[in-house]
Chains A and B, each alone.
Chain A
């Protein structure tokens, strides 16, 4: 690994998340503590329902902790209101979804441009940013294609371009290879690795895929809402030799 790790950019301490289902309370995360230094590529694995996506959502500021401390990019997310959280998220976090979640009526260019519409950038500046992002993911020749005209791997690369177009410090990826064939998954993982190593992006990736986890610097495992000790894993979740 050539990436130099910086000071902590994500600091989560004693995080609890409880969902209310009618009169029942379900604990999704219990006393989770994790720190991610800037520039790190962290993989989070765990069985279904272990709280991986919930943790990622809380780091992204799209879900709220029930208790505990969540400091990301120097901001305590637990004290921000919805408006502040949305603004913060738009500036600091890029989110990559398992099912790409591109807007089907917009071209690749327009999908990537979407977050920039909220900025003060001019049309030509936006174009420059979008073209750069699409070039980084290797799709600058497909910018006028609609999502249905792209393969799954290409769609996910457009999703990644959309995540990086605002140049966020942190990229959060929720099972980014979960819906891809092996070849496309390899391309997407290579892209994420490049973003981490060449552009210094901090990446937190939730995955079921041991090969994907092998791309990361570090692996943490969640089980039943609790974070296992550093280095601990579960049968079947050990990262593939990479």
Chain B
């Protein structure tokens, strides 16, 4: 029966082509948002999953995040703990380069500790690493600021401080080609500490433990070590830390789920409005079809099929469009923690398309049942 009536469903959808096109475009836009949001959630979940396997940890002020400030003396204590392979201070320096409008974020650190902690650092050529480690004012510059500022390897550049009224004079010794650090730069902690007035503080400690077993025990030992100190610490996996940096303490999952739910609700309302208008315009035709022998389930099926087809078309436009667009561009440029680039997985597209069909069915339900229940005689009388 559904197949027999399929041509009628298609022809009904094409009656008012402008309305159909606008509705498909609206649903496509909503499904684009939905697919993107689900992809963000998937990336966050991946980050959490990967965090459990990572040997990298971050230490911060237990009661502060963005304003976390730890004494440098903590670093030596952390380094000396059994199970810790290496630790580096992490001191944020905010400034601007040649283009004053563009904010540059850099971190003062100890490069030798970082070198083997992430793929993007391992990808930097050996001679560049050596040059960076041997040059006190050397830096590893991210690919993005290199492009934005028009810099090249070996350039001597000035980063004018915005938070601190001092400038960093840096020589670009290497380029970070990918990863989150590709947006920033790394330089030597001692140099930044000196230029900024030897306050001997750091924002965070980045450390790597020796094995997965230590990931569970070291954080508790570090935090216990500073429990009696004025500045207490919170030690957590690096990826969890990065995810928190994105969410800024809020429950990002809940927020994204909330936005996704609103997006879906909007899609349902848009589709329902379009289907309701379309069904209302055909009230007489439905009455005629019922006169010819079509029963309420046939009418419900027709309206729901029309609604689902409309929504599915929008879903295909939105989800597949997102998938292809992201694939063509090589990945989202949004950075979620260490997940610098993430893609729209086929499973996410399938989820979006399934959501589109459900949107259609939900949107068509009320108009379908209204049409199915409407009295034939009353409808015929109303147009006589």
Contacts and interface: CB of A to CB of B under 8 A. Distances in A.
Q: Please determine whether chains A and B interact with each other in the same assembly.
A: yes
Interface of A: 53-54, 57, 60, 62-63, 82-83, 86-87, 89-91, 95, 97-99, 101, 103-106, 110, 114-115, 117-118, 162, 166
B292 A162 contact: yes
B168 interface: no
Given A103-B8, A105-B11, A118 B298 contact: yes
A221 B384 CA distance: 20
A180 to B, nearest CB: 16
23 contacts: A62-B290, A62-B380, A63-B376, A63-B377, A86-B293, A86-B294, A90-B293, A97-B380, A103-B285, A103-B288, A104-B15, A105-B8, A110-B7, A110-B8, A115-B292, A117-B1, A117-B4, A118-B1, A118-B292, A118-B294, A118-B298, A162-B292, A166-B293
A106 B8 contact: yes
A86 B290 contact: yes
Contacts of B380: 53, 57, 62, 97
B284 interface: yes
Given A86-B294, A90-B292, A115-B292, A62 B377 contact: yes
B291 A89 contact: yes
Contacts of A53: 380-381, 384
Contacts of A115: 292-293
Given A57-B380, A117-B5, A95 B292 contact: yes
A114 B11 contact: no
Residues of B contacting A: mostly? helix
Contact of A62 (B15, B285, B291, B384): B291
A173 to B, nearest CB: 13
B12 interface: yes
Nearest to B14: A105
Nearest to B285: A103
B11 A97 contact: no
Interface in B280-301: 284-285, 288-296, 298
Nearest to A123: B4
Nearest to A62: B376
Contacts of A106: 8, 11
Nearest to B375: A63
B285 to A, nearest CB: 6
A110 B290 CA distance: 16
A98 B383 CA distance: 11
Contacts of A90: 292-293
A101 B293 CA distance: 15
Nearest to B13: A105
B288 A101 contact: yes
Contacts of B290: 62, 86
A89 B293 contact: yes
A34 to B, nearest CB: 19
Contacts of A87: 293, 295
B376 to A, nearest CB: 4
A82 B296 CA distance: 9
Nearest to B288: A101
A112 to B, nearest CB: 10
Contacts of A83: 295
A60 B291 contact: yes
A103 B376 CA distance: 16
Given A89-B291, A101-B285, 14 more contacts: A57-B376, A62-B290, A62-B377, A82-B295, A86-B295, A91-B293, A95-B291, A103-B8, A105-B14, A106-B8, A106-B11, A110-B7, A117-B1, A162-B292
Contacts of A110: 7-8
A105 B10 CA distance: 10
Interface string B352-384: 000000000000000000000001110011011
Q: Which A-B residue pairs are the 10 nearest by beta carbons?
A: A90-B293, A63-B377, A105-B11, A62-B376, A101-B288, A115-B292, A117-B4, A86-B295, A57-B377, A118-B293
B134 to A, nearest CB: 78
A139 B291 CA distance: 23
Contacts of A117: 1, 4-5
Nearest to A54: B377
